[in-house]
Amino acid sequence: MMVAEQTPQWRGELHYDEPMAAHSSWRTGGPARCFFQPADIDDLCDFLRDLDRDEPLLWLGLGSNLLVRDGGFAGTVISTFAALSSFEWLDDNTLRAASGMTCSKVARLTARAGLVGVEFLAGIPGTMGGALAMNAGAFGGETWTHVLAVETVDHEGCLHTRYPSEYRIGYRSVTGPQDEWFVAVHLQLEHGDAAAAQERIRKLLAQRGATQPTQQYSCGSVFRNPPGDYAARLIEASGLKGVGIGGARVSEKHANFIINTGTANAADIEALIEQVRDRVKREHGIVLETEVCIVGDKPAA
């Protein structure tokens, strides 16, 4: 059994065989065996306490950095976007944002308050939980630069407060306590000009729209930039812009984006990722590492 056999007391919604295409920015992916949307943090803790200890978990925000294979995910997906989206001011320059709050909302909220430093979050199409998990960045900024503390939950439903010193933070990489997941972040910011911060956000979004395929189904950047270079430059130099498999295509607008033209399945996208990686390695001797998280099973033959 996935959960304890007693009558569950959760207030959230539990769905079975939930199609993950509905929860991924690539609009593709097989079903999750279980899909839970908690009512709030207490409900999430209760649910976790009832889970088998070895139940595979996938934490989901907006699904903007995720590829679920066509065979689906044989575990439980926990959706934080709707439930864990609250915020509060801890003092005049420290914001507590729940992990399901969108990065763009955090950017706009802090800018309007005259707090500066995280305007770059407006360019990240995901939630704060995902941004914390991968140290997401854009336009020269990185998430963990501004983290004062984080709140996590473990598999037993116990809450913890952690500090940056307890994590190893790198470029698009975060390693910390095992079997804990982010449920909130405390961001400490500096006071600045609200109007200027909002103008920076406007310019960043205009730049993003001009250089990235924001109106098409994608996951954002597929590959991490290798040291001293750019994945997009290497992909374009390898003649891969516009190359496709099935309904998946390397974007003509930004070579580090793979788009779903409307008919791609997860297998198309994964095969194209591997083709790009192989070509870049052959042409340039560099092995690109993915930013996107690939999970789940391939369909049975």
As annotated, the active-site residues are: 172, 221, 291
Residues 166, 49, 86, 29, CA torsion sign:
positive
One-letter amino acid identity for 160?
H
CA–CA dist 152, 185 (Å, integer): 9
DSSP 165-219: GGSEEETTEEE-STTEEEEEEEEE-EE--HHHHHHHHHHHHHHHHHHS-TTSB--
Residue with tokens 């305007």: 119
Alpha helices in the chain (DSSP H): 41-50, 103-112, 128-134, 194-211, 231-237, 266-284
Q: Mapping DSSP to helix (H, G, I), strand (E, B) and coil, where does residue 131 land?
A: helix
